């Protein structure tokens, strides 16, 4: 993996641990929605890898859709502004929806998404986040399914990016930048 400049990566969660935990979360979803259909909504782009691994471990009738929002600029800081860049392709009315996010940080993105998705009257709306950084929370959001609770570090890999890079790392890594 090529790392640019003086950026440093340190493994936080190894691929094998991610794989094992994703299986466990999928098993829990399968149990919770036994005999029903689940509609997974991935929040682009960060959740695409988590969603594609998760859905393949769910033993139920499933469908998927994606929504894209922007809450961060190109860097590490949240602007606090959330905007829909790409909406869902189809209605979620009456469906069992699991919203799939890469990471829950301040909670601004999910608070906004939960509000707009609830207005579309799904039967159930649950949230699955691969990572949770509870120490940074500004809005009270409690995900129903969490992969890993992590400390207040900026992480990349397994779908998560820094300025669109590093999404392809198989491990979740802590990114340190050189002092500005
Ligand atoms: P929130 O609105 O602050 O909860 O932020 C959620 C979004 O910010 C996530 O979907 C990520 O795209 C991004 N984000 C938050 N923390 C990190 C991080 O440590 N690495 C990469 N992206 C992050
Ligand atoms: Mg991002």
Mean per-residue pLDDT over the chain, rounded: 93
- Residue 78 CB–ligand 1 contact under 6 Å: yes
- Residue 53 CB–ligand 1 contact under 6 Å: no
Counting atoms of ligand 1 from 1, which one is nearest the CA of 139?
A: 4
Q: How far apart are CA 109 and CA 43, in angstroms?
A: 10
Among the listed ranges 31-40, 64-73, 76-85, 89-98, which one has the minimum average pLDDT value?
76-85
Quote the pTM value.
0.93
Work out the widest C-alpha separation in the chain, in whole angstroms. 54
Dihedral sign from CA coordinates of 104, 105, 107, 113: negative
pLDDT score of 78 more than 70 = no
Q: From the CA of 166, which ligand is nearest?
A: 1
Dihedral sign from CA coordinates of 38, 44, 50, 53: positive
pLDDT score of 74 more than 70 = no
Residue 82 has what pLDDT?
Answer: 86
Secondary structure (3-state) at 47: coil
Residue 167 has what pLDDT?
Answer: 98
State which H helix or E strand residue 51 sits in: helix 48-56
Residue 1 has what pLDDT?
Answer: 64
Annotated catalytic residue within 53, 105, 132, 161: 105
119-153 residue pLDDT tens: 999 999 999 999 999 999 999 999 999 999 999 99
All residues at 6 or more sequence positions from 175 whose CB lies less than 8 Å from its CB, including other chains: 7, 8, 9, 154, 155, 156, 162, 166
User: Residue 107 has which token pair?
Assistant: 């909670």
């Amino acid at each position: 993996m090529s790392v640019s400049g003086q950026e440093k990566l340190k493994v936080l969660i190894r691929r094998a641990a991610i794989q094992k935990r994703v299986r466990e979360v999928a098993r829990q979803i399968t149990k919770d929605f036994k005999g029903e259909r689940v509609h997974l909504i991935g929040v682009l782009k960060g959740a695409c890898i988590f969603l594609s691994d998760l859905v393949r471990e769910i033993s139920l009738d499933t469908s998927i859709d994606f929504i894209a929002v922007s809450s961060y600029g190109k860097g590490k800081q949240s602007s606090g502004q959330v905007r829909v860049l790409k909406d869902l392709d189809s209605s979620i009315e009456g469906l069992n929806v699991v919203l799939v996010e890469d990471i829950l940080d301040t909670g601004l993105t999910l608070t906004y998404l939960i509000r707009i998705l609830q207005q579309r009257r799904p039967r159930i709306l649950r949230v699955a986040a691969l990572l949770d950084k509870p120490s940074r929370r500004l809005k009270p959001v409690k995900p129903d399914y969490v992969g890993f609770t992590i400390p207040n570090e900026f992480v990349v890999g397994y779908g998560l990016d820094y300025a669109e890079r590093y999404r392809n790392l198989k491990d979740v890594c802590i990114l340190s930048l050189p002092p500005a």
